Amino acid sequence: MSDVAKTVTDAELDLRGVVCPYNYVKTKLKLETMAVGQILSVMVDDGEPIRNVPRSVSEDGHTILKQEKMDHYFRVLIQKKN
C-alpha cells in the first residue's frame, strides 16, 4: 500500500472534467473552508489541470504532499498552510 493510500484526508474534490481555471478556483475555495493543517485530496485530469493546480496552490503557500498518477487522472494531496 502506498503512502498516499495510507494518508487520511479531511476532504476530497473530484475535479475531473473541470477546465482551467475553474479547477484551481474550486480548490482554492475549498481550502478556504478548511482548518490549518488539514489535508485536501483533489482529483484532476492530465494536461493543464495537473500542471496548473499544484503550481497555483503552492504559490498560495499550501504544501503539496503528494502527486500520484491514477488510472486516467491524477490525485494531489494538499495540506492547508499555517
Please give the positions annotated as active site: 20
CA distance 37 to 35: 6
DSSP 66: E
Residue 51 one-letter amino acid: R
Give the count of beta carbons closer than 10 Å to the beta carbon of residue 67.
16
